[in-house]
Amino acid sequence: MDCKDLRKNMQLLLDDELEGAFRDQVEQHITGCPDCRQHYVELGLVVHKLSSAEWQKAPAGFTENVLEALEHAHLARRNWRVPLVRWTGLTAAAAFIFSLGVWWSMPNHFSVTANSSEGLIVKENQVIIPKGQEYKGNLIIHNGSVIVEGKVDGNIVAMNGQIYKQTGADISGHTKEINEALQMVGYYLEEFWTMVRDALK
Ligand SMILES: [Zn+2]
């Protein structure tokens, strides 16, 4: 897969609409190609910007103009107001950088980095894992809270936020609340290198 093919499919990857071996190819390319990775992060930020507050108060024509400017874009489909990045296997490091990038560029915005939307409800600065639901994977949020009523098979990290475990909550991994900017950067670096080490094993 070359860079041109990759860029055609980048939006689909962000929208979580690629599957199987093809998805693996796209992920492998992004992981190995600094140019495309940079592009991926930037595209993610645009999706984030459009899908948050700006989306609702966009002036007439704004959406169309932006969509025209963004070739192949189909941003409104999922109607998420926060970026959602699948976060497994080879995408892990890229998604992680993406999450850090969102926070870095908009430190006071609510954002979520998650493996999928399955088992999650996202609304006004909150992520809820409802009773009877199971979310599989890691979850990072910035500037919001996570309310766990059901099951989480993974870790939860709240940057500048809170994690609430309700009765019956079942979390297999660790939970962490980090409220200092320096600690957040430290956490990202530490986790990032762990991921790189694991990937090289
Ligand atoms: Zn490339």
pLDDT greater than 60 at residue 176: yes
| Cα pseudo-dihedral 10, 14, 19, 25, rounded to 10 | 40
pLDDT score at 53: 42
Between 104 and 121, where is the model more confident? 121
> What is the pLDDT averaged over residues 167-175?
93
pLDDT digits (tens, 9 = 90+) for 43-91: 766 555 545 444 334 344 434 444 444 433 333 333 333 444 444 444 5
CA of 29 to the centre of ligand 1 (A): 6
CA of 21 to the centre of ligand 1 (A): 18
Q: Residue 133 — pLDDT band, cuts 50, 70, 90?
A: very high
Q: Residue 146 — pLDDT band, cuts 50, 70, 90?
A: very high
DSSP alpha helix (H) spans, the chain: 3-14, 20-32, 34-51, 53-56, 62-69, 91-105, 181-200
Find all residues with CB under 8 Å of 200, minimum gap 6, and list them.
none
Cα separation of 199 and 92, whole Å?
10
pLDDT greater than 70 at residue 148: yes
CA of 90 to the centre of ligand 1 (A): 15
182-190's contacts with Cβ under 8 Å and 24+ in sequence apart are 184/103, 184/159, 184/160, 187/157, 187/159, 188/96, 188/99, 188/100
CA of 36 to the centre of ligand 1 (A): 4
> What is the pLDDT averaged over residues 98-122?
73
pLDDT score at 40: 78
| pTM for this predicted structure | 0.54
CA of 1 to the centre of ligand 1 (A): 8
pLDDT greater than 70 at residue 102: no
Angle at 195 between CA 84 and CA 115, to 5 degrees: 20
Between 73 and 169, where is the model more confident? 169
pLDDT score at 199: 63
Q: Which of 7-11, 12-16, 90-94 has the highest mean pLDDT?
A: 7-11
CA of 71 to the centre of ligand 1 (A): 17
